[in-house]
Chain A
Amino acid sequence: MTEISHHSQVWSHRTPRTRLFMWVGWLALVALFVWCWQIMTRDTIWFFVADAPRQAADIAGRMVPPRWSYLGELWLPLWDTINIATLGTIGGVIMAVPVAFLAARNTTPSARFLRPVALFVIVASRSINSLIWALLLVAIIGPGLLAGIVAIALRSIGFVGKLLYEAIEETDQSQIEAIEATGASPAQVLNYGIVPQIMPAFWGITVFRWDINIRESTILGLVGAGGIGLKLQASLNVLAWSQVTVILLLILATVVISEWVSARMRHAII
Chain B
Amino acid sequence: MSPIAYPTSWRRPPQIIRDRRWRIAVQLGILVYLALAVSTVEVNWARVYEGLDRGWNFVLGFLRPDFTSRWTDIAKGLTESLTMTLTSTVVGVAISLPIGIGAARNLAPRPVYYLCRGIIAVSRALQEVIVAIFLVAMFGFGPFAGFLTLSFATIGFLSKLLAEDIEDIDAGQVEAIRATGASWAQVVNYAVQPQVMPRLIGLSLYRLDINFRESAVIGIVGAGGIGATLNTAIDRYEYDSAGAILLIIIAIVMVAEYGSSHLRKYLQ
Residues of A within 8 A of B (CB): 29, 32-33, 36-37, 39-41, 43-45, 48-49, 52, 55-56, 59, 79-80, 83, 86-87, 123-124, 126-129, 131-132, 135-136, 139-142, 144-146, 149, 215, 218-219, 222-223, 232, 236, 248, 251-252, 255-256, 268
Q: Which 9 residue pairs spanning A and B have beta carbons closest together?
A: A48-B140, A36-B83, A40-B83, A127-B253, A141-B51, A142-B47, A83-B37, A52-B138, A129-B217
**Chain B residue with minimal CB distance to A215?**
B127
Per-residue CB proximity of B107-151 to A under 8 Å, as 1/0? 000000000000000000101011001100111101110010000
Instruction: Select the stretch in B98-106, B160-168, B229-237 that faces chain A.
Output: B229-237
Asked if B5 CB lies within 8 Å of chain A CBs, one says: no
Q: Known contacts A87-B37, A142-B48, A218-B127; decide if A45 and B80 are in contact (CB<8 Å).
A: no
User: Quick check: B139 and A52 within 8 Å, CB to CB?
Assistant: yes
User: Quick check: B86 and A127 within 8 Å, CB to CB?
Assistant: no
- What class of interface size applies to chain B in its complex with A? 35 or more
Asked if B82 CB lies within 8 Å of chain A CBs, one says: yes
User: Quick check: A139 and B216 within 8 Å, CB to CB?
Assistant: no
Cβ contact of A44, chosen from B41, B134, B142, B213, cutoff 8 A: B142
Interface of B is mostly: helix
Of residues 228 through 259 on chain B, the ones whose CB sits less than 8 Å from some CB of chain A are 230-231, 234-235, 237, 242, 246, 249-250, 253-254, 257
Q: Known contacts A40-B80, A124-B250; decide if A141 and B38 are in contact (CB<8 Å).
A: no
User: Quick check: A146 and B144 within 8 Å, CB to CB?
Assistant: no
- A45 CA to B224 CA in the complex, in Å? 13
- A254 CA to B139 CA in the complex, in Å? 29
**Chain A residue with minimal CB distance to B245?**
A132
Asked if B87 CB lies within 8 Å of chain A CBs, one says: yes
A45-B140, A142-B50 known; 8 other A-B pairs, CB under 8 Å? A45-B142, A86-B37, A128-B246, A132-B217, A135-B220, A135-B230, A140-B54, A146-B48
User: Quick check: A146 and B41 within 8 Å, CB to CB?
Assistant: yes
User: Quick check: B144 and A40 within 8 Å, CB to CB?
Assistant: yes
Which residues of B are found within 8 Å of A255, using beta-carbon distances?
125
Which residues of A are found within 8 Å of B143, using beta-carbon distances?
40-41, 43-44
Which residues of A are found within 8 Å of B38, using beta-carbon distances?
87
- A135 CA to B80 CA in the complex, in Å? 21
**Chain A residue with minimal CB distance to B251?**
A127
Of residues 71 through 91 on chain B, the ones whose CB sits less than 8 Å from some CB of chain A are 79-80, 82-84, 86-87, 90
Selected A-B contacts with CB under 8 Å, 9 pairs: A36-B83, A40-B147, A44-B143, A86-B33, A86-B37, A132-B220, A136-B242, A144-B41, A219-B130
